[in-house]
Amino acid sequence: MSPREITTIDANEAVARIAFKVNEVIAIYPITPSSPMGEWADEWAANREANIWGSVPQVIEMQSEGGAAGAVHGALQAGALTTTFTASQGLMLMIPNMYKIAGELTAAVIHVAARSLAAQGLSIFGDHSDVMATRATGFGLLCSNSVQEAHDLALIAHAAALEARVPFIHFFDGFRTSHEVNKMELLSDADITAMIDGDLVRQHRARALSPDHPVLRGTAQNPDVYFQARETVNPFYAACPAIVQQVMDKFAKIVGRQYKLYEYYGAPDAERVIVMMGSGAEAAQETVDYLNERGEKVGLLKVRLYRPFDIPRFVEALPATTKAIAVLDRTKEPGSAGEPLYVDTITAIYEEWRHGAMPGVVGGRYGLSSKEFTPAMVKAVFDNLQGARPRNHFTVGITDDVSNTSLEVDSEFSIEADDVVRAVFYGLGADGTVGANKNSIKIIGENTNNYAQGYFVYDSKKSGSMTISHLRFGPRPIHAPYLISKANFVACHLPGFLERYDMLKDIVPGGVFLLNLPYPAEEAFARLPRIVQQQIIDKKLRVYTIDAYKVARESGMGGRINTVMQVCFFAISGVLPRDEAIAQIKYSIEKTYGKKGDEIVEMNLKAVDNTIENLFELTIPAQPVSDVPMLPPVPAEAPGFVRDVLGMMIARRGDDLPVSAMPIDGTYPTGTAQWEKRNLAQEIPVWDPQVCIQCGKCALVCPHAVIRIKAYEPAALAGAPETFKAMDAKDTEWHGLKYTIQVAPEDCTGCGICVDICPAKNKSAVNLKAINMRPQPPIREQERDNWNYFLNIPETDRRNIKISTIRQQQVQQPLFEFSGACSGCGETPYIKLITQLFGDRTIVANATGCSSIYGGNLPTTPWAHNNDGRGPAWSNSLFEDNAEFGLGMRIALDKQREYAGELLQRLSAQIGDELVSALLAADQHDEVGIYEQRQRVAALKQKLAGMQSEDGKQLLALADAFVKKDVWIIGGDGWAYDIGFGGLDHVLASGRNVNIIVLDTEVYSNTGGQMSKSTPRGAVAKFAAGGKPLGKKDLGLIAMSYGSVYVARIAMGAKDEQTLRAIIEAEAYDGPSLIIAYSHCIAHGIDMGKAMRNQKAAVETGQWLLYRYNPEREAHGENPLVLDSRPPKLPVKDYMYMENRFRMLTLSKPEVAKQLLEEAQHDVQTRWALYEYLASRDYHKNGSEH
């Protein structure tokens, strides 16, 4: 047999490779961190790759994980070998089907990248909460601890399931394993084929439903027999562990790697043993070796088969000498007797221990949401077992100063070997650092005898995000699933990080520090912050600098410094001989970019050649020479919670926060994003009052709410900074007022969309507008002062703002600001507009997705409040239930208003009839009405303040219910068109007064651009690699079919006044409203700074129709549907080929692209004809045509 291929991949790919080979049907749905498994399967199927039987598996994307589980169940019932991939909430949605699949003894495997469940907050990161929630389903649970294991056990799971007729969840730690790149050996097709027994496959098929041998499966059973029938499966579960072990033994014979169900590692005569599963076991294993080498007697029991739990084998695997056991669970079950593995261990010991006195067993929690689990923590757990009364129900890895559960950990303890290169790279998302590091791992892992590992930590923000790469290279396999804390190489790829993050805290003395600095080498050291200089001197670091931006630019690479920094790493880290490394990089460039064109190869090669001569080692003086301070994470004047808690997270020291610092129920203050000054923009917009026509469009389109407008009394200018700009307000209704457009210089992301939209041109040089991009650093201080001054100018009285025109409406204060959305985001301007109009009286239900991430991801969040303390209250329930979540809010508000009204009437004698009837009959359709009602409520509260009756106290608590409250239900197309459609439909049909806005990016943006039912025909998306063959679902038309729903389709970049009008009408409509908002997206492959042009083109070509459907119009004898679009005046091609998602198909499959383009043009015509007809129907004649 030829040697197996050695490669460096992550576990998602390693698992998908097996799953693809041994299945016929793969039902998928995106969810982090398992999405890449589905994406790989889809891509391989699109490229017509085959499974071991020579056939291409059918890969189908479903509308939810619940749907995927249903499809899996059905495919299994019809006899196909079937699998799926999921995590977290997705796995929760599969549970009902999992009971069925297991109850029917069906062979199948679900691969799970194990992830936290949303509780007090959502987390995309890894632990076993999801898997543990399925342990009653009857599925077997098989755990992998590393990339190689995930590959191997994926196959073992499939083989065992076929034989045992017990379905399996095969799981591995989300991110830590699913996304760790490690050197591993790929199983060959021959290996895989040898492991899958053809007879068992045929038996699986024979059990399938078929009209040729019909049976009935899925009966309803009654008290007489259900119980007995449920017990029939016992023999299968009893036999299952032995079968899994046999399959593992067979695997060992074929492949050479032996796995055990319960695998003991360590001293044969150990007294202290840790029991655990998952990647943490790798860290424990290395620590066990380290401790035993130093005379201790410790061991580790790795649990691979958690269900069915084999008590005899489990106990047998423990050394007879065991005296104390610590069971580590990577999950939390509040209120339980203990976490599940702990409880199972106690049961097992109690039932089966045969070696005299039973060992003591304690349990602890670790590693929730990918919390680090390090050798130091392993040692702390062993140390705990040494005490006379080891602490039970402990935590390790955090400081629990509330329940005092946490073990002390020696942060200096490290077992890293000297011959392992440990490198940490701080990069900017856009600079290609991660890609280059993955490439370095490949070079070393696949072309040398060294082993390589890479793990990448990403930012919680989407724009201007920092990436931290942790790379290890060494002569032995690397079992270190934790971040590098003793780095011997640190690279800083962005100069701005130096003053914000302590990058040298973990570097070892004598280590190497590589800096990308835009200064000559002789100036470089002096430019560093003083603390950094001191660390360099104290730790005797070798420091190298390069102006990577210059080298990249001169090599034609623009801002992508990846290749330059990669060459630097190899040149100075010594991980490979320099010449060999450079030859390898060049070879890899040819291989990676060869297909993308000669010039891309050439510019990369040029960058390689230009790097060495621009790389300099600095001479380090004996003393620090700079006064440059580190920047505080948040300004000193920030509120205490922001400064002490959120500030720690911003500074990347959130791990140091104790339990007591955290809100107990997931409740956080709003208005915190203003304190995180990210200074991302190289250039920011600068206002030119001479040219400005005061249209307000720049502020309207600004995705980050950094452009603000105020119209104010001239007196407010007294004491203004010298450079503060103001002009007379042009609006006739604002005669005598001053007008200022001010930019928040440190919050701007520099997208430039404001400049592109500005319609005013400088009369003498038309390349200048009323707002122009200018370099930020020279004006940062000045504009910071101006911004602060601007904030203190009183807001324009909302009662005096005419909201129906953008020029006035835009002076309203946004209550959604500085979000972490992508620079140039197409969604956030809509949200911001809603908060300007109605934010002070709005509750938001936000579906999971981009908007819940940029809206709710810590540390700081964009939802804000005004000076009265009012603003949107925000929450996120799930992905699938957002419409229902919002409806629940509406019903609660309505009920409270109703009850408050009842109380008011009961107490009318004490309160006074005049106030009572004014409160009950208040017209609150505009700002004046709301203002007056708030005054009445204030008066009511005064009257109620002294009342002692229960009714009085109740009413005081509910008095605010008299002021109008809006419910806004916000989500993307993945929610509205797919996973949440059923609930959305129900809410639309409820007749209740909720406002729903669908931020339609036409793909699942947050998980990386997977197709939804909103994806238009011809677009390339993940799961639609060949271009989506079918048209977009017409959600608006479906909603209109009720006749009682306000429906609008809007596109701000095409017709902003229509957008404004639709949002105002939707809010005013006393019933459900649905707004479908065209939202351009980074996933479209467009110039985000000019994306409003794409919106315009979408409308002008008829791809996106603008309309408003208002059922109230029908009562007046008018057609409820008003088309706000003109007939298509340009071919749809003119729009589609502005965007890479469509254009790339012309380059990959030109014939298909041509066909789909023709069909898309046909769609445009038929859609226009339909809507034109609908909008022209005469409702006047009969009052109604329905």
Partner 1 sequence: MTNLKTTYLGMQLRSPLVMSASPLSEHVDNIKRAEDAGIGAVVLYSLFEEQLRMERQALYHYLTHGSESYAEALTYYPQLGEFKTDSSGYLEHIRKAKEAVHIPIIASLNGTTVGNWIKFAKQIESAGADALELNEYSIPTDMNKSGAEIEETVIEVLRAVKSAVSIPVAIKLSPFYSNMAYMAKRLDSVGADGLVLFNRFYQPDIDLETLEVKPSVILSTPQALRLPMRWIAILYGRIKASLAATSGVHTAADVAKMLLVGANVTMMTAALLKNGIDHARVVEEGLRQWMTEHEYESVNQMRGAISQLNTEDPAAFERAQYMKALTHYRPDMS
* Interface with partner 1 (CB under 8 A), residue from 96, 121, 435, 639: 435
In angstroms, the Cα distances linking 1183 to 317, 546, 1046, 1116 are 82, 76, 19, 8
Q: Which residues contact 269 (CB under 8 A, 6 or more apart)?
A: 297, 319, 321
Number of chain positions touching partner 1 (CB under 8 A)? 56
Read off the amino acid at residue 90.
Answer: G
Give the shortest CB-517-to-partner 1 separation in angstroms.
22
Closest CA to 1021 of 1045, 1040, 1002, 1036: 1002
In 3D space, the residue among 1149, 904, 1112, 1119 whose CA is nearest the CA of residue 1018 turns out to be 1149
Interface with partner 1 includes 761 (CB under 8 A)?
A: yes
Task: Specify the residue for token string 């065991």.
Answer: 322
- 684 near 776, Cβ under 8 Å? yes
Q: Is 522 helix (H, G, I), strand (E, B) or coil?
A: helix
Residue 357 in the binding site for partner 1 (CB under 8 A): no
Binder among 462, 472, 725, 1061 for partner 1 (CB under 8 A): 462
Interface characters, 504-543, with partner 1 (x: CB under 8 A):
----------------------------------------
Choose among 170, 195, 365: nearest CA to 280: 365
Residues between 466 and 505 that touch partner 1 (CB under 8 A): 467
> CB of 600: closest distance to partner 1 in angstroms?
6
369 vs 125: CA distance, rounded Å:
5
> Closest CB to partner 1 among 101 and 1083?
1083
x-or-dash pattern for partner 1, window 810-839, by CB under 8 A? Answer: ------------x-----------------
Q: Cβ closer to partner 1: 880 or 884?
A: 880
Give whichever of 432 and 872 is closer to partner 1, judged by the CB atom: 432
The one segment of 35-43, 488-496, 770-778, 808-816 that binds partner 1 by CB under 8 A: 35-43
Give yes or no: 1006 in active site: yes
Distance in Å, CB of 1005 to partner 1, minimum? 7
Q: Considering the complex, state which of residue 363 and residue 367 has its C-beta at the smaller distance from partner 1.
A: 367
The reply to whether 764 sits near partner 1 by the rule CB under 8 A is: no
User: Given 12, 23, 32, 467, which residue is catalytic?
Assistant: 32
Exactly one of 186, 600, 717, 956 binds partner 1 (CB under 8 A); which one?
A: 600
Q: Whole-number minimum distance, CB 982 to partner 1, in Å?
A: 24
Mark the segment that binds partner 1 (CB under 8 A) among 14-22, 346-354, 425-433, 643-651.
Answer: 425-433
843 to 882: interface string for partner 1, x by CB under 8 A: ----------x-----------------------------
* C-alpha torsion sign, points 286, 288, 291, 292: negative
Rounded to whole angstroms, the maximal C-alpha distance in the chain is: 97
Closest alpha carbon to 534 in 454, 408, 649, 628: 628
Do 113 and 178 contact (CB within 8 A), yes or no?
A: yes
- Draw the binding track, 987-1026, toward partner 1 (x: CB under 8 A; -: no contact): ------------------xxxxx----------xxxxxx-
Report the alpha-carbon distance of residue 307 to residue 350 in Å, rounded: 18
* x/- map, 1075-1094, partner 1, by CB under 8 A: -------xx-xx--------
Q: Which is nearer to partner 1, 241 or 849 (CB)?
A: 849
Which range of residues in 150-158, 703-711, 798-806, 1140-1148 is near partner 1 by CB under 8 A?
1140-1148
CA distance linking residue 452 with residue 78, whole number of Å:
43
Task: Name which of residues 631 to 670 contact partner 1 (CB under 8 A).
Answer: none
1150 binds partner 1 (CB under 8 A): yes
Annotated active-site residue 207? The verdict is: no
Q: Which of 1051, 1050, 1043, 1049 is nearest to 1071 (CA)?
A: 1043
CA angle 1057, 1009, 1013 (to 5 degrees): 70
Find the binding residues for partner 1 in span 121-150 (CB under 8 A): 124
Give the whole-angstrom CA distance, residue 603 versus residue 119. Answer: 49
Tell me whether residue 182 is one of the annotated catalytic residues. Answer: no
Rounded CA-CA distance 296/891 in Å is 63
Using DSSP's 3-state secondary structure scheme, residue 831 falls into helix
| Between 687 and 1023, CB nearer to partner 1 | 1023
Phi, psi of 1132 (to 5 degrees): -65, -20
Q: Residue 934: how many CB atoms within 10 A of its CB?
A: 20
Question: What is the CB neighbour count within 10 angstroms for residue 203?
Answer: 14
Nearer to partner 1, 695 or 889 (CB): 695
DSSP alpha helices (H): ranges in 1124-1149? 1132-1136, 1140-1148
Nearer to partner 1, 462 or 710 (CB): 462
Q: Which of 1, 622, 664, 766 binds partner 1 (CB under 8 A)?
A: 766
Q: Is residue 175 within the footprint of partner 1 (CB under 8 A)?
A: yes
User: Would you give the distance in Å from CA 237 to the centre of its chain?
Assistant: 38
Could you tell me the smallest distance in angstroms from the CB atom of residue 456 to partner 1?
8
Q: Which of 106, 437, 1006, 1094 is catalytic?
A: 1006
Positions 42 through 61 that interact with partner 1 (CB under 8 A): 42-43, 46-47
Residue 1108's DSSP bridge partners are: 1048, 1122
β-strand partners of 328 = 364
**Dihedral of CA 588/590/594/597: which sign?**
positive
Q: Determine whether 1143 is an active site residue.
A: no
Q: Letter for the amino acid at 240?
A: C
Alpha-carbon gap, residue 758 to 751, rounded angstroms: 14
* Closer to partner 1 by Cβ: residue 929 or 1085: 1085
Catalytic entry in 51, 61, 97, 115: 115
Among 105, 252, 343, 430, binds partner 1 (CB under 8 A): 430
- The answer to whether 94 and 73 have CB atoms below 8 angstroms apart is no
Tell me how far CA of residue 1158 lies from CA of 862, 1016, 1023, 1133, in angstroms.
43, 13, 22, 9
Q: Could you tell me which residues come within 8 angstroms of residue 772 by beta carbon, excluding any fewer than 6 positions away?
A: 685, 686, 688, 755
Question: Which token pair is 625?
Answer: 């020479």
Nearer to partner 1, 342 or 549 (CB): 549
Among 367, 432, 1072, 1128, which residue sits at the site for partner 1 (rule: CB under 8 A)? 432
Which residue in the block uniquely carries the two structure tokens 């492991």?
Answer: 195
Q: Which is nearer to partner 1, 710 or 1022 (CB)?
A: 1022
Q: Kindly state the smallest distance separating residue 580's Cβ from partner 1, in Å.
A: 26
* Contact positions vs partner 1 (CB under 8 A): 32-33, 35-36, 39, 42-43, 46-47, 124, 175, 179, 429-430, 432-435, 456, 458-459, 462, 465, 467, 593, 595-597, 599-600, 761, 766, 822, 853, 1005-1009, 1020-1025, 1082-1083, 1085-1086, 1140-1141, 1143-1144, 1147-1148, 1150
Cite the active site residues: 32, 65, 115, 1006
